């Protein structure tokens, strides 16, 4: 990839809404992405490999558990700092942000919020430092948008639980050290269990041939009579609301993250349009190209305000699940549209790995599907405003 010349757009002076700490956190993450992600990400995406070496840097910038209290190894930051980190990391690559979302919101958060003190002390510091990488098993081959139908189950065998079933499309599965797995007990109630690599009967085959999130590793979690110690059950919350509560936190981070991908596409297209000459003038001078750029910066600015306000609400514990759904849906859709337009603005060069746009565009095809599809989030808004459930 060409040198990372990224300059962040801030059309409405939104920096003025941020605290000194927010700006410090954002700039530190941005510098790290420029130094350690941008120079190598294209190569890893091309060879469909997760750049393992970024784990140390992600831990150092505080991207594993940004809002988890410091006593458990987290960074103890607020929700806007968490969002800004996700924005900067996804500006580098959605797959790297995925790793942070899973680690922070889908593994550390449930252990912190639903686990007991022993579980917090046992797992959280190792996850925060990157010594452990985690995965989150909710989706199954026959239950994606409808996770409540899951068939993965565990039985009480006196001194342990016996876990059977499988999970599909699991980020980081192939190399995770621990997995937070959602399964039904004998009464059909959903619980979270921490499954550790090395437990007999637990395997994590990799999913190959993805055209999207190629620098992120995806796989299955397979449980064949896995004996899970009783102390690995998360005791403080059960039911479908438990995994969905984790998704709220991850979806919030994705709403910020997608903004980062959109900013990178816009910034790349703007710079290219000023340099690329056709018919004896920079293409930035043609009205049709200006329409694309003007619409991009308008949508980016609206999306920035949406997540900033959501972050304020989240800091006050007032953000609703439906508000988070709206931001995830809007910002990912916005980013995907900008990626498609920006790619066209680069003409043939847009399809090459010389520029990040095509990689962002392909990544966003996963982001618009995982953590609740575009249509599922629309139905969540529909239910919230009408009171009518159109899912079933």
- Between CA 92 and CA 3 the distance in angstroms is 12
Nearest C-alpha neighbor of 18 from the set 278, 315, 266: 315
If binding is defined by CB under 6 A, does position 171 make contact with ligand TGC?
yes
- Between CA 96 and CA 37 the distance in angstroms is 9
> What tokens does 294 get?
């003007």
Report CA dihedral (315, 319, 325, 327) to the nearest 10 degrees: -50
Instruction: Please report which helix (H) or strand (E) contains residue 182, including its range.
Output: strand 178-184
Other CB atoms within a 10 A radius of the CB of residue 198 amount to: 7
Nearest C-alpha neighbor of 171 from the set 363, 385, 391: 363
Contact stretch for ligand FAD (CB under 6 A) within 20-28, 30-38, 133-141, 290-298: 133-141
Contact stretch for ligand TGC (CB under 6 A) within 31-39, 52-60, 85-93, 142-150: 142-150
Q: How far is the CB of 250 from ligand FAD (least distance, A)?
A: 9
Pairs from 356-361 (Cβ < 8 Å, separation ≥ 24):
356/1, 356/41, 356/42, 356/264, 356/265, 356/268, 357/264, 357/265, 357/268, 357/269, 359/41, 359/42, 359/45, 359/93, 359/214, 360/93, 360/94, 360/261, 360/264, 360/265, 360/335, 361/265, 361/336
Q: Which member of 94, 218, 268, 330 binds ligand FAD (CB under 6 A)?
A: 218
If binding is defined by CB under 6 A, does position 248 make contact with ligand TGC?
yes
If binding is defined by CB under 6 A, does position 94 make contact with ligand FAD?
no
> Any idea which residue has 């995806």 for tokens?
218
218 contact, one of ligand FAD, ligand TGC, none, CB 5-8 Å limit per kind: ligand FAD
Nearer to ligand TGC, 171 or 289 (CB): 171
If binding is defined by CB under 6 A, does position 138 make contact with ligand TGC?
yes
If binding is defined by CB under 6 A, does position 370 make contact with ligand TGC?
yes
If binding is defined by CB under 6 A, does position 373 make contact with ligand FAD?
yes
Q: Which member of 14, 28, 113, 240 binds ligand TGC (CB under 6 A)?
A: 240
If binding is defined by CB under 6 A, does position 375 make contact with ligand FAD?
yes
> What tokens does 391 get?
């899912």
Q: How far is the CB of 35 from ligand TGC (least distance, A)?
A: 23
Nearer to ligand FAD, 7 or 386 (CB): 386
Determine the 3-state secondary structure of 161 from DSSP. Answer: strand
Tell me the site size for ligand TGC, rule CB under 6 A.
Answer: 25
If binding is defined by CB under 6 A, does position 69 make contact with ligand TGC?
no
Q: Nearest residue by C-beta to ligand FAD?
A: 144
Q: Which member of 136, 161, 266, 308 binds ligand FAD (CB under 6 A)?
A: 136
> What tokens does 99 get?
């790793």
φ, ψ (nearest 5 deg) of residue 276: -80, 120
- The verdict on whether 371 is a catalytic residue reads yes
282 contact, one of ligand FAD, ligand TGC, none, CB 5-8 Å limit per kind: none
Q: How far is the CB of 70 from ligand FAD (least distance, A)?
A: 26
Residues that bind ligand TGC (CB under 6 A): 98, 101-102, 136, 138-139, 145, 147-148, 171, 239-241, 244-245, 247-248, 250, 321, 370-372, 376, 380, 391
Q: Applying CB under 6 A, which residues contact ligand FAD?
A: 102, 136-139, 144-145, 169-171, 213, 218, 366, 369-371, 373, 375-376, 379, 391
């Amino acid at each position: 990839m060409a040198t990372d010349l990224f300059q962040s757009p801030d059309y409405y002076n939104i920096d003025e809404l941020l605290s000194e700490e927010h700006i410090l956190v954002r700039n530190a993450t941005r510098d790290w992405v420029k130094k350690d992600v941008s120079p190598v990400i294209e190569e890893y995406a091309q060879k469909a490999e997760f750049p393992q070496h970024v784990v140390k840097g992600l831990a150092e910038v505080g991207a594993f558990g940004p809002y988890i209290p410091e006593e458990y190894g987290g960074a103890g930051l607020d929700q806007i700092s968490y969002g800004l980190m996700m924005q900067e990391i996804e500006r580098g690559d959605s797959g790297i942000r995925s790793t942070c979302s899973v680690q922070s919101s889908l593994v550390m958060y449930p252990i912190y919020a639903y686990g007991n003190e022993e579980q917090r002390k046992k797992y959280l510091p190792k996850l925060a430092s990157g010594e452990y990488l985690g995965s989150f098993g909710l989706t199954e081959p026959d239950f994606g948008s409808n996770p409540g139908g899951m068939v993965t189950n565990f039985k009480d065998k006196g001194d342990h639980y016996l876990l059977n079933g499988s999970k599909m499309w699991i980020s980081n599965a192939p190399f995770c050290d621990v997995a937070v797995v959602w399964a039904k007990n004998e009464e059909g109630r959903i619980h979270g269990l921490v499954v550790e690599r090395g437990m007999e009967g637990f395997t994590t085959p990799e999913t190959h041939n993805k055209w999207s999130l190629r620098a992120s590793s995806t796989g299955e979690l397979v449980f064949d009579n896995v004996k899970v110690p009783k102390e690995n059950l998360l005791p403080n919350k059960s039911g479908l609301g438990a995994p969905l509560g984790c998704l709220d936190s991850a979806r919030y981070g994705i709403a910020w993250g997608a903004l980062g991908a959109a900013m990178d596409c816009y910034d790349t297209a703007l710079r290219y349009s000023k340099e690329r000459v056709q018919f004896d003038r920079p293409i930035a001078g043609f009205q049709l190209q200006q329409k694309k750029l003007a619409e991009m910066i308008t949508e980016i600015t609206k999306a920035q305000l949406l997540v900033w306000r959501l972050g304020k609400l989240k800091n006050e514990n007032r953000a609703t699940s439906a508000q988070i759904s709206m931001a995830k849906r809007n910002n990912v859709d916005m980013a995907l549209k900008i990626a498609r337009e920006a790619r066209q603005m680069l003409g043939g060069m847009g399809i090459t790995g010389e520029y990040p746009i095509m990689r962002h565009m392909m990544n966003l095809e996963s982001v618009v599907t995982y953590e609740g599809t575009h249509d599922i989030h629309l139905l969540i808004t529909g239910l919230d405003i009408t009171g009518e459930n159109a899912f079933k």
